[in-house]
Amino acid sequence: MNRYLITGFSGFVARHFAEYLESTKDSFLLKGVDVQTPCFMFDHYKNVKIDFEQVDLLSKEQVKSIIKEFQPTAILHLASFSSVALSWKEPVRSFRNNTNIFLNLIDAVRKLNMDVRILSVGSSEEYGNVNDNDLPLTEDRRLNPVSPYAVARVSQEYLSQIYIGGYGMDIVMTRSFNHIGPMQRDVFVVSSLARQLVELKRSGKKRGAIVAGDVSIIRDFTDVRDVVRAYHSLLQRGRRGEVYNVCSGRGISLKELIDIMASQLGVEVDITVDDRLIRPADNRKIIGSNEKIKRELGWSNVIPLEKSLKDIIDYWDEN
Amino acid sequence: MNRYLITGFSGFVARHFAEYLESTKDSFLLKGVDVQTPCFMFDHYKNVKIDFEQVDLLSKEQVKSIIKEFQPTAILHLASFSSVALSWKEPVRSFRNNTNIFLNLIDAVRKLNMDVRILSVGSSEEYGNVNDNDLPLTEDRRLNPVSPYAVARVSQEYLSQIYIGGYGMDIVMTRSFNHIGPMQRDVFVVSSLARQLVELKRSGKKRGAIVAGDVSIIRDFTDVRDVVRAYHSLLQRGRRGEVYNVCSGRGISLKELIDIMASQLGVEVDITVDDRLIRPADNRKIIGSNEKIKRELGWSNVIPLEKSLKDIIDYWDEN
């Protein structure tokens, strides 16, 4: 029986991960932990059994006792204080709730001397400021974190390498680029834009304004359902000690995303720029290379951007 | 009036720093903080007034209230869980007592919106595994931390850069190589060797054994009294946002150090190798470049190695 411990279980990635496991028809026992209780039900699964427990990963004792009791065969570490913008407002909280929680987790596994694969989810933010010559970003590029969040993620990756090399632990790492999909909270940009567009549509107007930051920036978006397939492959077949970009390899501007969604909804949009949504040290353009994960695991993203955006719109339309 | 806050005040570097300030004939008000009370007296100073307070830097509230009350003009951050060997045994404790304490400190300054220069003391360990072609190590070399302690120090440096670039804070950073001198605890290698040699001499024997790890490794040693002069220069004139190696630029093996000390004491020595003192991933040879600090600040190390070793021997002879 596969026994997966999933941290950050109340987030939308965990939910899609559980959906994906259910679809594989294999049997899974999931232990989900999070500081917040999930706002979704998980009693409709047939192959996946889920047990949730509210846990603060900053509590070393709690973390250790859960791992000891559950005896996971794999750990998917999704828990994160993942907002770059908020990390500037609360740098200490961001650092503790990224780096220190991860350290507590891997140290508990070390102390329990367990042989368990851990997937350490990191971020494209670790690359920091890049110029167009560096694109698409490959995993061997020098890291240059430029936000508190990014520093926390780089520290997490360095700690992983120490626990792998020094204690022989079985950790695989990602640098995950932007992911999008239904059920993502609207503190994230695409979800926020989709929600505003749905509200515009519902207002009955043909044309209206939405609020955004700099919509000319180009990012690499992957559907969360492709992302969770990548995570599962990495848990099963990723090479120990290796870092993998999880991305589409394709860049698109926020403006283009807005245009696609507006067209799908049949509305016309004026963009009101809110300076507070513009991050000071932001990159103009970020595109990752997914050659390594393609080559080694045969993974690639298969959900077209248009479908992702349509599903996000439908999600907001229903909620 | 110069008002210096010094963390890690009970360590031997702080003590030498206070001695140095006294020697400058300027007036200083020092606030020393440490989790442990210092085992030295500071009532013999004329120009330096010292106030000590027992503080755990992991307590954000304590850190903030001390800075707010004392209103330092400069902060010398010496506090550290500085043993590489112990960091392997207690990685979480090492990380928290290096990175998290530093983060609490700089975040308190940020929240208080104070204009104060901070010297962030880092370590040559940040460079990690190096090969001879990289020597002497210059500050622009890619960091490759290979111990929990080294990761903690690299994280500290990254956080410094974020607080400088993102919040406009005034931080200067060091990567300090091995320093030696009287009053250093014998958990550090040169101090331990000196103490054993003094004990051998006192036993009345002409020849005897001392216990050591791999004595063929080559390190870059600087007298702590040169180091504290560098720290003071960096607090006064270092460039904001810059990292400086603090080192001698010269490599010497532990075997050679032992020979010099044995000769000074007039004893002959057999070395008993204790495998527990050999670190797994250790570099054979580490030498730093001090060109940057020489060029920019005119600092250089002036105390000959022979004098450092003699003074260490005299210290153990008296204690």
For A174, phi and psi rounded to 5 degrees? -120, 155
pLDDT single digits (tens) B151-179: 999 999 999 999 999 999 999 999 999 99
CA nearest B148 in A: which residue? A162
What pLDDT score does A75 carry?
A: 98
Record: contact A148-B162, CB cut-off 8 A: yes
What pLDDT score does A31 carry?
A: 97
Q: Best residue in A151, A160, A161 to probe B by mutation, most B CBs within 10 Å?
A: A151
Give the number of A-B residue pairs with CB atoms closer than 8 Å: 78
B72: cis peptide before it, omega within 30°? no
Record: contact A96-B100, CB cut-off 8 A: yes
What's chain B's average pLDDT? Answer: 94
pLDDT at B281 over 70: no
pLDDT at A281 over 80: no
Record: contact A166-B154, CB cut-off 8 A: no
What's chain A's average pLDDT? Answer: 94
Mean pLDDT score, B48-75:
97
Q: Percentage of chain B with pLDDT > 70?
A: 98
Mean pLDDT score, B112-120:
97
pLDDT single digits (tens) A190-209: 999 999 999 999 999 989 99
Pairing of strands A171-176, A117-123: parallel
Give burial (CB, 10 Å; 0-12/13-18/19+) of B18: buried
pLDDT at A125 over 80: yes
pLDDT at A85 over 80: yes
Q: Percentage of chain B with pLDDT > 90?
A: 87
Record: contact A162-B146, CB cut-off 8 A: yes
Give residue B5's pLDDT band: very low, low, confident or very high (50, 70, 90): very high
CA nearest A85 in B: which residue? B166
Nearest-by-Cβ selection for A103 from B95, B104, B159: B95
CA distance B278 to chain A (A): 14
What pLDDT score does B42 carry?
A: 74
Q: How many CB atoms lie within 10 A of CB A316?
A: 19
CB neighbour list of residue A205: distance below 8 Å, 6 or more residues apart: A267
- Tokens 């951007």 belong to residue: A305
Mean pLDDT score, B232-240:
98
Mean pLDDT score, A152-165:
97
Q: Which of A9-13, A128-132, A153-157 has the lowest average pLDDT?
A: A128-132
Using a cut of 0.90, tell me whether the model's pTM lies above it: yes
**Domains of chain B, each with CATH number or no CATH:** 2-180+222-249+288-297 (3.40.50.720), 189-218+251-283+305-318 (3.90.25.10)
CA distance linking residue B319 with residue B198, whole number of Å: 10
Q: Percentage of chain A with pLDDT > 90?
A: 87
Q: Which of A42-46, B143-147, B199-203 has the lowest average pLDDT?
A: A42-46
What is this model's ipTM? 0.91
User: What is the torsion angle, in degrees rounded to the nearest 10, for the CA atoms of residue B183, residue B105, residue B119 and residue B128?
Assistant: 80
CB neighbour list of residue B18: distance below 8 Å, 6 or more residues apart: B6, B30, B42, B45, B48, B50
pLDDT at A278 over 70: no
pLDDT at B278 over 70: no
B136: cis peptide before it, omega within 30°? yes
Q: How many CB atoms lie within 10 A of CB B131?
A: 9
What pLDDT score does A279 carry?
A: 66
Give residue A303's pLDDT band: very low, low, confident or very high (50, 70, 90): very high
What pLDDT score does B273 carry?
A: 86
CA nearest A101 in B: which residue? B92
Q: Which of A274-278, B51-55, B65-69 has the lowest average pLDDT?
A: A274-278
Dmax (CA) for chain B in angstroms is 62
pLDDT at B276 over 90: no
- Chain B interface with A: residues with Cβ < 8 Å: 60, 88, 91-92, 95-96, 99-100, 103-104, 107, 110, 142, 145-148, 151, 154-155, 158-159, 162-163, 165-166, 280-281
pLDDT at B41 over 90: no
CA distance linking residue B215 with residue B223, whole number of Å: 20
CB neighbour list of residue B235: distance below 8 Å, 6 or more residues apart: B4, B74, B76, B117, B119, B172
pLDDT at B280 over 70: no
Record: contact B158-A155, CB cut-off 8 A: yes
What pLDDT score does B279 carry?
A: 66
CA nearest A146 in B: which residue? B162
